[in-house]
Amino acid sequence: MRTHHPYSLSFIAFLLAVPLFLLGQTAASPPYILDVRTLGLVKVRIASGDTSLTAAHARLIVDADEALRSLPVSVVEKRQTPPGGTKHDYMSLARYYWPDTTKPDGLPYVSRDGVPNPEINEITDSKNFSAMCSSVWKLSLAYGFTGKNEYAAHAVRFLKTWFIDTATAMNPNMRFAQAIKGRRESTFAGIIETRNMYQVIDGIGLIRPSGLWSDEDQQSLQRWMTAYWNWLHTHPNGIQASKTPNNHGVWFDVQRVPIALFLGKIDTARVIMEQAKTERIALQVEPDGSMPKELGRTISNHYTQYTIEAFVLLASFGDASGVDLWNFSTSDGRSIPQTLRFLLPYLRGEKVWSWKNIKPYEWQGMYPFFLRASVALPEEGFDVVARSLETARSKKDLVHLLIGK
């Protein structure tokens, strides 16, 4: 139950000033998914005893304290050396490719869709990149909510180790990502492994007021991101990812928009968002909200959820880019909200999921996406759906702190 407080006019005026005052954002370094005004209001609500946010806030501090005890990671930690001859290049193996049992040497590897080959864990770059993004994200949020510099300082260590320090920095490309043994040294699908780059960019926006992320650091990362941006838009893998009409294409845009905003390419970000209407939503979503490319997979539930996650994140860039994807619909009804509506009869038990699904799946994973949608589209009743999916764990989900609900 949310605790309500009687606000005086002077206190309301204070609340309206809170985000910029407490988080110290500037036009040069804002978060791009996060709404700083919402974060500021959430911070005040926590301080004034709003119990609806207690669990999520406590979870954030536990996670951030765990990140404080973790050492920064980098691409040079892997045992393997990529084909380019330097461990500074990112490297990984295609997730669903296995040895061909009809060949003596198992080469070339063959696809077993939906079945991860444990060999992927032998190369640590993918795991380490995810750990870096998650650590920066939680440490930066913890700094934003507590003002404790130790959180910002450790986020800076993670960032500089991965992107800036000469001895450990990743080269700004993904040219050896998701290799297929005996077939290709990389695939376009590997680019999806850096899908959480938005956490890095929003994290930097949150810690800039600490003064621990310097102008020199900012310029160094802007140079890195510029090189990575250029690689994404000129290398055949990046070009193919941008044209792929499934989850890869949407996640490609989830990377591109924050990077564009970080680099000051505001018009470019707006163009990408506008193109998402015709090149993502109109092409990938059917009028009933289904996504055939994802339903055709062997783990159709997972890939449907995975693509909705990407669409929801992309829509969350609307305020920063000036393009509203939440309320966009084609003339025949294809839209992001329709992908959520498509799931309703399955969530309610009115229909049985009939597409292939070789692994068990729990619908509770949809909780944060319905909750985000309930804020953007309050008239849809998605908050009721979210509550039906709520668990003890979901009450601690950080999404509550991000959207103030």
- Judge whether 110 lies within some domain: no
Comparing CA positions, the residue from 127, 124, 142, 165 lying closest to residue 67 is 142
Domain annotation covers residue 334: yes
Q: Is residue 123 part of a domain?
A: no
Q: Which of 226, 87, 238 shows the shortest CA–CA distance to 169?
A: 87
- Reported as a pLDDT band with limits 50, 70 and 90, residue 136 is very high
Q: Strands of 32-132 (E only): list them.
A: 97-98, 110-111
Cis preceding linkage at 108, omega within 30: yes
Question: What pLDDT, on the 0 to 100 scale, is given for residue 20?
Answer: 37
pLDDT for 1: 36
- Domain holding 271: CATH number? 1.50.10.100
Residue closest to 59 by CA, chosen among 118, 141, 114, 1? 141
Q: Does a structural domain hold residue 106?
A: no
Q: What is the pLDDT of residue 32?
A: 74
- Residue 89, in any domain of the structure: no
Q: State pTM to two decimals.
A: 0.93
Instruction: Give the residues across from 107 on adjacent strands.
Output: none
pLDDT at 16: 41
* 300 located within any domain: yes
Query: What is the SS3 assignment for 110?
Result: strand
Q: What is the bridge-based pairing of β-strands 97-98 and 110-111?
A: antiparallel
Residues 6 or more apart from 106 whose CB is under 8 A from it?
99, 100, 181, 182
Could you list the residue range(s) of the whole structural domain that residue 283 is in?
Answer: 244-405
Number of separate domains in the chain:
1
CA-CA distance, 136 to 129, in Å (whole number)?
11
C-alpha distances in Å from residue 14, one per residue of 7, 37, 130: 10, 12, 37
DSSP, residue by residue, 223-255: HHHHHHHHHHHHSHHHHHHHT-TTHHHHHHHHH
Task: Examine residue 258 and state whether it is found in any structural domain, yes or no.
Answer: yes
Residue 61 has a pLDDT of 98
